[in-house]
A and B are shown apart, each in its own frame.
Chain A
Amino acid sequence: MFAYVVRRVLSTIPVMAIVALFVFSLLYLAPGDPAAIIAGDQATPEDVERIRAGLGLDRPFLIRFGEWLWNVLNGNLGVSIFTNLPVTRMIAQRVEPTVSLMLLTLVLSISIAVPMGVLAAWNHGTWIDRLIMVFAVFGFSVPVFVVGYILAYVFALELEWFPVQGYTPFATGFGPWLNNLVLPAVALGGVYIALIARITRATMLEVLSQDYVRTAKAKGVGSRTILFLHALKNAAVPIVTVIGIGVALLIGGSVVTESVFAIPGLGRLVVDAILRRDYPVIQGVVLLFSFTYVLVNLGVDLLYTLFDPRIRY
């Protein structure tokens, strides 16, 4: 097991290297110019050219890539072209809101979606099943920003239960922290709940049709025990896989959610950086997202062994 973990961690190195090369090349080829944005609308083309040279953006691709890679290998993600602040500091400022949003969404989604899926499977073909599936289709179909606007209008603007926007750090207190995150987490969780609920239902239906479940029923084992002790554990592997894959969905969704609710997270940081062509920031955040995703996949693989003793590494 330990050897497997070490192997997997080491295998992230070439993955990250490919991501780094890909991101750098993509940004190099993409149209846009940070010098033009810094210079502003009143600047002359000559001014823009001088600023571009000052930023070193007129140097050849290989030199810029080599320099950046060397810095990254030394733990230096560079400084923002615009703010001159270290990229690591900018990322550090934004990690807490995004992690908070994702964790709350994850907790909320799993605690709602898994029981929903189980309930739908247990009541397969009944109105309960249909109702849950209607909800799942709704969750899939309505864009995050529409849900966000509706939630903000009803619960923040009309009922005044929650703030419209912003983020309160956890250090300020659990109450204010939660108060700011409830609406964004619900908005972001919609699609995630739908996804997990559907997979849970489908997997549970398959498991519930197995012989051992029928045997358990024949032996008079209670429904709750069958469902949550026997069936759910056996259905867990695909569910955990989907939860892991869904993290990418959350990262993408957080970009929109953070914009709608003005949460100063990594999603907004990378969108702002893309719009301004702040290359070091884009590269830093994309590397971080990729690394997170690789780690989440590793975590999911390790979790398999908990749910299915037949899986050994």
Chain B
Amino acid sequence: MKRRDLLATGTAAALGTLAMPSLSRAQNARVLRFVPQANLSTLDAVAGTQYVVRNASLLVWDTLYGIDSNVVPRPQMAEGHEVSPDFKVWTFKLRPGLKFHDGEPVLSKDVIASLNRWMVRDTMGQRIKATLDEMVAVDDRTVRISLNKPFPKMLFALGKNNAPVALIIPERIAKTDPFQLITEYVGSGPMSFAKDEWVPGSKAVFNRFAGYAPRAEPADWLSGGKRMNFDRIEWLILPDDATKAAALQKGEVDWWENPIPDLVPLLKRNRDVVLDIADPLGNIGALRMNHLHPPFNDVRARRAVMMALNQEDYMRAVVGDDETLWKPLPSYFTPGTEVYSEAGGEVLKGARRIEEAKKLLAESGYKGEKVVLCVATDVQITKAQGDVTADLLQKIGMNVDYQALDWGTVGARRSKKDPPSAGGWNIFHTWHAGADCLNPAPYTAFDAGGDKAWFGWPKNDSIQAGIAKWYDAPDLAAEKAAIADLNKQAMEFVTYGPTGFFLQYQGWRKNISGIVKAPFPVFWGVTKT
């Protein structure tokens, strides 16, 4: 090698090495490391309703319509729609140039197959299916849905964020039985799923889809242009909360979806970490009673619990003493919306009436039988609620059988209709995302359809009629009246016991910007410096 060549090579190498840090920083800015709320163990947001699966699916798949932050559905994959004056015939036209991650165009047949699969699993979809005359492809980009009954809430159904979401998937995959998980993850969303890099329980990787055509409008929740500023998003599943907090503080991760309340003060002290409310629609705590067996098959026993239930006790146990994070909720519905109502909620207001509750319980015929309280102790929110309930039941003179279980066991146990003495249950706890409790459509836990209702199997025909009335409501005023009536009825019937409304934090590094408050993590528009 000549001396000049050697010098040139050496200089180039030295310059290359010097340039590496900034190159590395630039590459780093194109990768987002995100810690989700739970392990991503499947990726089918139709077969399953887990929030973590829904959140990942919203990156990979797209929807015809998408709700904005005012919960108004806006066109997304659809260019627009036409609807007959009687709300029976809906025609949707796809935007031109939409492509799946495998390069195939998105066609009407894909939309039809996807909606057919979704309709089997989703409560709103089931209503559409029940009145469906036909769903046909007018051409490759146009789909017409003809119903034999008006369905004014079609756009909300197609654009809602509540699982199961009406995601559009290729026809060949959409033909999978809706009760079985899909195994091919091809979408048309802004990111593609890197199945080869998936280490379930540890890491899930999403790569930017170059063929994605975002809308021109600014992004707003599920609507508008979903512009990705990252080439790669890594979901890192860290099992331990303290490890998550340490990783965020040290900058090993960029964004943590749900820091637990105990660690929030620690994170607030770190100048490189930003904390803010994650979802403005919050959550509703739930004390779920089994309507099939004594004592809670008697409405008086359920009312006795409501009379004694102190939501402040529950909320302090769930989120601690930060009063900005919770409020009492004398309602079954998410507060802060135009249709919100507290009609009939007096039973949850004011001083608690323990003595009256005891009397009512005695009137219901309760004679000290064991009340099986199933508590998932591995989930902080259910554990906290369970402990408060055990105390509450004892105060009103109930004989509590506190069964400490894990969430997996509670999940199986709650589906048993057997008497509590034969392996069934009387009470379990959960919570519902506020986004699912805006109205009766996605609110499975509100349904009172008996055998077909959610766990606890409440049966009340009048409530079911009220839900149907809401579906048929042609305008906001009618919707509001329907919700008020439903709330009043459910409070009297005690479908379940709302234990309060609470918010949760999300946390991210200071060099991340563009994170918005939403019922799901919104990745589009987020940047990293």
Contact = CB atoms under 8 A, between A and B. Distances in A.
B201 A264 contact: yes
A74 interface: no
DSSP majority for the A interface?
A: helix
A47 B125 CA distance: 14
A157 B246 contact: yes
Interface in A66-101: 80, 82-85, 90, 93-94
Nearest to A262: B238
A259 interface: yes
Given A165-B252, A272-B201, A262 B163 contact: no
Contacts of A271: 239
Contacts of A163: 250, 252
Interface string A151-175: 0110011001001111000000000
B199 A275 contact: no
Contacts of A153: 246
Contacts of A157: 246, 249-250
Contact of A152 (B49, B237, B246): B246
Interface string B56-73: 000000000000000000
Given A33-B408, A36-B415, A43 B201 contact: no
Count chain A CB atoms within 10 A of each CB in B51, B200, B239 and give the residue with the most: B200
Contact of A149 (B201, B239, B242, B415): B242
B453 interface: yes
A47 B242 CA distance: 36
Given A157-B246, A272-B201, A164 B412 contact: no
A85 B415 CA distance: 28
Interface in B113-168: 121, 162-163
Contact of A54 (B177, B243, B442, B457): B177
Interface stretch (B40-48, B91-99, B340-348, B512-520): B40-48
A92 to B, nearest CB: 11
A310 B177 CA distance: 66
B48 A276 contact: no
Count chain B CB atoms within 10 A of each CB in A149, A275, A277 and give the residue with the most: A275
Contact of A264 (B203, B414, B454): B203
Interface in A255-288: 259-262, 264, 268-269, 271-272, 275-278
B236 interface: yes
B48 A43 contact: yes
Interface string B228-251: 000000001111101100110110
B372 to A, nearest CB: 13
Interface stretch (B75-83, B178-186, B329-337): B178-186
Contacts of A152: 243, 246
A251 interface: no
Contact of B42 (A53, A82, A93, A156): A82
Count chain A CB atoms within 10 A of each CB in B179, B237, B409 and give the residue with the most: B179
A269 B246 contact: no
Contact of A160 (B183, B200, B250): B250
5 contacts: A36-B412, A44-B453, A259-B243, A262-B247, A264-B201
